[in-house]
Structure 1
Amino acid sequence: MFTLDASSIDKSLPVPVGTQLHGLLAYMLSFGDIPDGAKLPSVRQLAADIGIAPMTVAQVYKQLRDEGLVEMRHGLGAFAIQDPKIRLPGSNPLDALRGDIGALIEKADNLGISTLSLISMINAQSQFPRGGDGLNIVFVCIFEGPGRDYVEQIRPVLAPEDKVRLITLDSLAGSDTLREACRKADLVLTFVNREAEVRSHVDSDNLLGLRFIPSEQTRQNLARLDPRTRVAAVTHFKEYIAIMRPSVREFAPHVSDIRVTWSSAPDLEETLAQCNAVIFASGADHVAEHVPEGTPCFEYRHAPDPGAVENVLAPHLADIRRQKSRGLQTSHPSQKVAARPKGN
C-alpha cells in the first residue's frame, strides 16, 4: 500500500487539504491493505510528514472516528477498524463451526470420500432451497451501474431465492419510502466507508459494511501502461481527488507523469488533451466522451473483497437464515399465514 508523505496532498488544487486528507485516509482504511487494529501515525507525526496543520489532522481523525473507520484510544492514538464485527476474538461465526467441520472431514475420510468430493457435495447442497422465503436484501450503492455489477459479484454466496434491491445513497437520503424498505430488509449492504452515512439515514441493526478492493481488470490495465504515458486521473468526488495519484501508482509504479482532476473541473478538457491515457473513477463515466479519439481510457473500478465476501458476508448471511428459520419454527401456524398474505 502507498505511504503518506508531502506529495500525498496537492496544495495547488482548489480542494481543502483537510478534505483531501480525509478522502485519502478513508480510502486507505476501506480499500487498502491496512490491517484491522493497525496504529495510525500520531497527529503531530502525520502533520509533519505531509506538511499541514496538526489541528487539521486531528479534525480528520475525529471525522474518521465518527464514521466508524478508526478507534481513538486515550493516550495511545488512532487505530484502524476495518470490520468491527470480526475485531474481537471468537466473534466470527465461522469459529463455532470449526469443530463440526473437522468432524465432518474425518467422517468422510473414514467412508472413503475425498475432501474435494465432500466440498463439491456441500456446494451442491447449499444451492438447494431449504424451505421458506429467501432473504430480502438491500444494497445501498453510489451509482447504479457499478452497483449492479457488485450485486452479481456477491451472487455466489446468495441463495437462488434471495432478492436484492439496489438503492442509491442519494435516493435513500430523500425518500421515507426507501428508508422504510431498508428498515424492513433482512440485510442492508453497503461499502464499509459509507456505513456511517447509511446508518444516519437508516438506524438499524441489519446494516453491514463490505470491504472493496481495486478490481483485477483495473490492476491489469494499470500494469500495462507504458512508462512514458502521461496519465490524467479523474475523480467524480472532489473529496477523493488526493487518492487518484497514489491509486494509479500502486499498480503502475513505472508511470511518473500523473495529473489529477475532477469530472466537473473547468479545465477538464484541457487536462485531457495534454495526456495520452485517461483513468476515471466510477461515476465519472461521462469523461470518456471528452477523451480525444485513440486515447486509451478506462475506469478505475473496485470489486467486493473476496476475503470479506467469504469470511464476513457469507457467515453473516448464514446467521440471518438461522435466526429467520428459528423464528418460523417457533411461531404459531396462524402467525405464519398472517406473515404471508396471498399473492406474496
Structure 2
Amino acid sequence: MFPIDASSIDKSLPVPVGTQLYGLLSYTLAFGDMPYGTKLQSVRQLAAELGIAPMTVTQVYQQLRDAGLIEIRQGLGAFTARHPLAVRDEKLPINALRSDIETIVGKAEALGISTMELVSMINARAQLRRPNVGLSLVFVCIFEGPGQDYVDQIRSALTASDTIKLVTLESLKVPGPQREACRAADLVLTFVHREAEVKALIDVPAEQVLGLRFIPSQRTRQNLAGLDPRARVAAVTHFQEYIAIMRPSVREFAPHVADVRVTWSSSPDLGEVITACDAVIYASGADHVADLAPPNVQCFEYRHAPDPGALETILVPRLTELRQLRAGQENGTDGETAEGAVRRRSA
C-alpha cells in the first residue's frame, strides 16, 4: 500500500488540506521510488486516516490522474502509474549486457569513478564508433538558477554535438520563442510531475516530452544528516501546495531531528519562525529566506538533482533511439522508428 504520513497534513495552517494533500502525493509520486501498480488508499480510507472529506480526496486523485501520476481503474481504485519508457521488454538486446554493465559499474566504483563520469566516458567512446548525429533538446525548469545546474548535470548523458536549451515553465504560458523552441526540439525534458502540463502548453506529440525523476542532491543529504539532533529546524517551501512535503523530506535524511516547523516563503510569520530556529532549510525558489536568517543560524537550500538512474535507463536509451531515427532519415531510409526497429529485431 502507498505510504502516507498523516501528520504531514497540518490543519492549523492557512493552506487548504486538499492543496497540502495534492502537493504531498504529487511530490512523493514524482520523486519517490514507488513501483508501478502500487495501490493507493481508497478514497474513504484515506479520508478517514486524515480526517478530511472524501470529496477532497476524490478531487486530489482526479488531479493526480490528470497529471499522469496515477491510474484510476474502474472498480479497483487508484494505482501508481509507470513511465512509458521506464519498463522495457526483457527480450530487448540491451538486456544481454546487464551483467557486463554491473561489472564495469562495480569496477568504476572501486576506482572512485562516479556513475555520471562513467556515463560521460561511455558516451565519448561511443562517438568514435558511430555517425555523429547531434540532437536538439530543451529542459523546462521552474527556476532558472537550479535549472541551469540541472542542465549541466544532464549534459553528462549527452554528446558534444547535442545542444540543450533552458526555458522556464512560466515562459511557456504565453505564445513566444520559448514555445517554438520546444516544438522544434527533438526532445523536451522536464520533471515527471510537470510532464502533462508541459505537453498541454506546447501541444506536441506525447513522445516528444520526457519527464525525468529527480532526487535530493548529495550535498542536501549531507547537510541534513549533519544537523544537530537538538536543533529547532525551520523548513520553508516556495509553493504553498508543497508545504506538506517539507517535514517528511527533512526527516528522511535527518530522522534524529525532532523539532521541525514548516512554513512558506511569503507567510506573514516567516520572520518569526526563522528567528525562533537554529537551522533553516529552504526549497528552491525561496532563496530570499537565506537573507533573513541570522549569521549564527545554519541555512541551506533543499536542492534536487537528476536521478543518475533515470539518465542511464530512460534518457540515454531514448536519445539513442532518436539518433538512429535521425541517421536513417539523413541516409534516406524508409523512416522506420527506432522503437519499431528494436521491436522487430527482438521478435
Q: TM-score, normalized by length of structure 2?
A: 0.85
Distance in 2 between residues matched to 1:122 and 1:138, nearest whole Å:
23
Quickly say closer, same or farther: Cα 1:120–1:266, change in 2 above 3 A. closer
Contact 2:214 2:307 in 1 (8 A): yes
Specify the alignment match of 1:96 in structure 2: 93
CA distance in structure 1 between the partners assigned to 2:161 and 2:121 by the alignment: 20
> Is contact 1:42–1:77 with CA below 8 Å preserved after alignment?
yes
| Residues 132 and 161, structure 2, Cα contact 8 Å, conserved in 1 | no
Letter in 2 for 1:242: A
Alpha carbons of structure 1 residues 223 and 182: separation in structure 2 relative to 1, 3 Å: same
Aligned runs of 1:151-300 on 2, under 5 Å? 151-205=151-205, 206-300=208-302
Residues 6 and 51 in structure 1, CA contact (< 8 A), matched pair in contact too = no
User: Which is further off, 57-66 or 75-84?
Assistant: 75-84
The separation in 2 between residues aligned to 1:153 and 1:185, in whole angstroms, is: 19
Amino acid at match of 2:154: I
Measured in 2, the distance between the counterparts of 1:116 and 1:8 equals: 41
Equivalent residues of 1:226, 1:255 under 8 A apart: yes
Q: Deviations over 1:137-181 (max 9, x none)?
A: 000000111111111112121001111100000011123321121
Contact 2:86 2:313 in 1 (8 A): no
Would the alpha carbon gap of residues 166 and 310 (structure 1) be closer, same or farther in structure 2, given more than 3 Å must change?
same
Shift of 1:125: 2.2
Can you list the C-alpha shifts for 1:35-78, whole angstroms capped at 9, x where unaligned? 22211111111111111111111110010000000001111111
Q: Report the residue type matching 2:244 in the other structure.
A: A
In the alignment, structure 1 residue 16 sits paired with structure 2 residue 16:
yes
Larger mean CA deviation between 63-72 and 125-134 belongs to: 125-134
Matches of 1:6 and 1:122, distance apart in 2: 45
Q: Report 1:102-121 matches (<5 A).
A: none
Matched residue type, 1:274: A
Shift of 1:96: 3.3
The separation in 1 between residues aligned to 2:161 and 2:250, in whole angstroms, is: 39
User: C-alpha separation between the residues in 2 aligned to 1:300 and 1:2?
Assistant: 24
Cα displacement (A) at 1:95:
2.5
2:221 and 2:259 map into 1 onto residues whose CA distance is 18
Quick one: distance in 1 between partners of 2:291 and 2:24? Answer: 27
Corresponding residue number in structure 2 for 1:321:
323
**Closer, same or farther in 2 for the Cα pair 1:285/1:326, shift >3 Å?**
same
Moved more, 78-87 or 247-256: 78-87
Q: Which residue of 2 aligns with 1:339?
A: none
Q: CA separation in 2, counterparts of 1:122 and 1:247? A: 34
Shift of 1:331: 7.0
Say if 1:230 and 1:277, in contact at 8 Å, map to a contact too: yes
TM-score in terms of structure 1 length:
0.86
The amino acid that maps onto 1:142 is I
Partner of 2:38: 38
- What corresponds to 1:26 in structure 2? 26
- In structure 2, runs of 5+ residues without a counterpart are 101-105, 109-118, 335-347
CA distance in 2: counterparts of 1:298 and 1:126, whole angstroms: 39
Q: Which residue of 2 aligns with 1:111?
A: none
Q: AA paired with 1:199?
A: K
Displacement after TM superposition at 1:239 (Å): 0.7
Distance 1:189 1:236 in 2: 22
Does the 8 Å contact 2:43/2:57 carry over to 1? yes
Fraction of identical pairs, as percent = 62
Task: State the one-letter code of the partner of 2:265.
Answer: S
Question: Match of 1:182, as an amino acid?
Answer: C
Change (3 A) 1:322 1:261: same
Question: How far apart are 1:187 and its partner, in Å?
Answer: 0.5
**Distance change >3 Å, CA 27–CA 116, structure 1 → 2:** closer
CA RMSD of aligned residues (A): 2.6
Matched letter for residue 177 of structure 1: P
The CA distance in 1 between the partners of 2:230 and 2:215, in whole Å, is 27
Residue aligning to 2:76: 76
How far the C-alpha of 1:5 sits from its partner, in A, is 3.9
The answer as to whether partners of 1:2 and 1:246 remain within 8 angstroms in 2 is no
Q: Distance in 1 between matches of 2:237 and 2:122?
A: 43
Q: 1:262 to 1:120 in 2, by over 3 A?
A: closer
User: How many pairs align?
Assistant: 317
In the TM superposition, what is the alpha-carbon distance from 1:222 to its structure 2 partner?
A: 0.6
Contact 1:46 1:57 (C-alpha < 8 Å) held by counterparts: yes
C-alpha change, 1:292 and 1:2, in structure 2 (3 Å) is: farther
Q: Any idea what SS the aligned residue of 2:288 has?
A: helix
